[in-house]
């Protein structure tokens, strides 16, 4: 099988880590029967300055018609609003209907406090529909926002969480070391207060996970979002897959990333029907750009995550294992992890293990 992968390096260290993502895909063993074709695509701040748009139409149309998946590095955003500029990744999620944001947060198994969870965030609705208004009242201005929760979006995100839980179990069964015994999905909400919106999310997610595919295979529990934050920090090892509406998922996933020590380790994927964009969680890191010291691991793991959603689990598992082996040994680590290795040395070490 040949996979066509769009490469959107973007700005800053995006240009340093995306080539590493390409190399690890190219270095996968031939026995997997996977071939890759890469297409470099433009987006970001530099693109905006050159062309007047942060996301050229060509990038979107090539992704739509010619690509099976993509890797997105990072883009710089201006700190004050600039006319005509808007975030390309947010636009891509909309244009390609990438309805899930998936963020694995993981330490190595031998860590003093091992963590291995995935946060699955609904990516299309909730308060992020951006239907806000401000009205003048005799007592002053009042601002309101719509929080939209639909059965359709809640059901498909819960089903995706269930699928991810099953897939993780399969990878564990294949011998990957793990801290978990069985698949577990934790539904996060605040339905005790928002009985209609979060209530619908909760009920729909419950129903989806009670279907024949998951009923006997995946354990399901619930956690109110505020106590979820507390438990996430107190007892992160207790979680396997967490599913949440957009806003809670956004906050939980950034918070959880703090548990593993460096942004340079945390991958994500934006996933739709039959398409996935792997994306490291970090930004363009202007403070270290051009020095060759960016940690490539978030991007390598994002490449693996993309492969998982393109149904290439065996290839993904190989990348995860090579990355974990580098981290377990702990000799060639980049400066954000307390080491002295350059991006290139980390990449070489991981490629060798692959």
Q: Which stretch binds Mg ion (CB under 5 A): 23-31, 71-79, 242-250, 294-302?
A: 242-250
Q: Within 13 Å of residue 136, how many CA atoms lie on the same side as its CB?
A: 0
Residue nearest to ligand NAI (CB): 283
Q: What, of Mg ion, ligand NAI, none, does residue 74 touch, CB below 5 to 8 Å by kind?
A: ligand NAI
Please state the closest distance from residue 294 (CB atom) to ligand NAI, in A: 4
* Cβ atoms of 236 and 259 closer than 8 Å: yes
- For the beta carbon of residue 112, count every other beta carbon within 10 angstroms: 5
Q: With respect to Mg ion, which residue has the nearer C-beta, 21 or 249?
A: 249
- Total residues contacting Mg ion by CB under 5 A comes to 2
Q: Which of 11, 250, 324, 336 is catalytic?
A: 250
Q: Which of 15, 42, 106, 190 is catalytic?
A: 190
Contacts to ligand NAI by CB under 6 A: 13, 74-77, 89, 263-264, 282-288, 294-295, 298, 334, 336
The yes or no reply on residue 122 touching Mg ion (CB under 5 A) is: no
239 is catalytic: no
Counting Cβ atoms within 10 Å, is residue 342 exposed (0-12), middle (13-18) or buried (19+)?
middle
Q: What is the CA radius of gyration of the chain?
A: 20
The yes or no reply on residue 116 touching Mg ion (CB under 5 A) is: no
Q: Which of 95, 128, 147, 342 is catalytic?
A: 128
* Cβ atoms of 279 and 89 closer than 8 Å: yes
Please state the closest distance from residue 309 (CB atom) to ligand NAI, in A: 18
Please state the closest distance from residue 101 (CB atom) to Mg ion, in A: 9
209-215 CB contacts, 8 Å cutoff, 24+ apart: 209/158, 209/159, 209/161, 209/162, 209/185, 211/159, 213/162, 213/166, 214/162, 214/165, 214/166, 214/185
Alpha helices in the chain (DSSP H): 14-26, 45-51, 57-66, 88-95, 151-173, 197-209, 225-234, 246-257, 297-309, 313-329, 343-353
250 is catalytic: yes
Q: With respect to ligand NAI, which residue has the nearer C-beta, 188 or 253?
A: 253
Please state the closest distance from residue 254 (CB atom) to Mg ion, in A: 5
Q: At residue 285, what are phi and psi to the nearest 5 degrees?
A: 45, 60
d(CA 253, CA 128): 16
d(CA 87, CA 211): 37
Q: What, of Mg ion, ligand NAI, none, does residue 250 touch, CB below 5 to 8 Å by kind?
A: Mg ion
Residues 254-293 that bind Mg ion (CB under 5 A): 254
Q: What, of Mg ion, ligand NAI, none, does residue 154 touch, CB below 5 to 8 Å by kind?
A: none
Q: What angle do CA 5, 103, 225 make, to 5 degrees?
A: 150
Q: What, of Mg ion, ligand NAI, none, does residue 346 touch, CB below 5 to 8 Å by kind?
A: none
Q: Which of 85, 147, 231, 254 is catalytic?
A: 254
Q: With respect to ligand NAI, which residue has the nearer C-beta, 117 or 266?
A: 266
Strand (E) or helix (H) holding 71 = strand 69-74
Q: Which of 226, 230, 331, 340 is catalytic?
A: 226
Pairing status of strand 219-224 against strand 241-244 = unpaired
The yes or no reply on residue 250 touching Mg ion (CB under 5 A) is: yes
Q: With respect to Mg ion, which residue has the nearer C-beta, 147 or 172?
A: 147
Please state the closest distance from residue 121 (CB atom) to Mg ion, in A: 9
* Cβ atoms of 340 and 332 closer than 8 Å: no
Q: Which stretch binds Mg ion (CB under 5 A): 236-244, 251-259, 273-281, 306-314?
A: 251-259
190 is catalytic: yes
- For the beta carbon of residue 51, count every other beta carbon within 10 angstroms: 12
254 is catalytic: yes
Task: Indicate which residues carry an active-site annotation.
Answer: 128, 190, 226, 250, 254
Q: Which residues bind Mg ion (CB under 5 A)?
A: 250, 254
């Amino acid at each position: 099988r040949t996979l066509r992968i769009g490469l959107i390096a973007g700005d800053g260290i995006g240009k340093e880590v995306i080539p590493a993502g390409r190399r690890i895909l190219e270095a996968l063993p031939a026995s997997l029967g996977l071939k890759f074709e890469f297409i470099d695509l433009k987006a970001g701040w530099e693109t905006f300055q050159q062309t007047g748009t942060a996301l050229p139409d060509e990038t979107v149309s090539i992704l739509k018609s010619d690509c099976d998946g993509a890797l997105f590095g990072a883009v710089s955003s201006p700190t004050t609003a600039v006319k005509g500029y808007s975030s390309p990744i947010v636009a891509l999620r909309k244009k390609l209907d990438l309805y899930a944001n998936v963020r694995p947060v993981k330490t190595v198994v031998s860590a003093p406090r091992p963590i291995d969870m995935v946060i699955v965030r609904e990516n299309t609705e909730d308060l992020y529909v951006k239907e806000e208004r401000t009205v003048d009242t005799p007592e002053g201005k009042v601002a309101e926002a719509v929080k939209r929760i639909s059965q359709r979006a809640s059901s498909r995100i819960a089903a995706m969480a269930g699928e991810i839980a099953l897939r993780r179990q399969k990878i564990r069964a294949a011998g990957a070391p793990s801290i978990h015994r069985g698949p577990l999905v934790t539904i996060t909400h605040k339905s005790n207060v928002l009985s209609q919106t979060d209530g619908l999310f909760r009920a729909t997610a419950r129903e989806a996970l009670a279907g024949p595919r998951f009923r006997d295979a995946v354990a399901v529990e619930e956690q109110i979002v505020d106590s979820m934050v507390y438990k996430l920090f107190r007892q992160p090892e207790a979680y396997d897959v967490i599913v949440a509406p957009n806003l809670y998922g956004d906050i939980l996933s950034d918070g959880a990333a703090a548990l593993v020590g460096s942004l340079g380790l945390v991958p994500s994927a934006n996933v739709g029907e039959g398409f996935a964009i792997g994306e490291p969680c970090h930004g363009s890191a202007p403070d270290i750009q051009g020095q060759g010291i960016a940690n490539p691991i978030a991007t390598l793991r994002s490449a693996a995550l993309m492969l998982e959603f393109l149904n290439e689990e065996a290839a993904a598992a190989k990348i995860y294992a090579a990355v974990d082996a580098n981290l377990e040994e702990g000799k060639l680590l980049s400066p954000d992890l307390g080491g002295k290795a350059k991006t290139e040395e980390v990449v070489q070490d991981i490629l060798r293990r692959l």
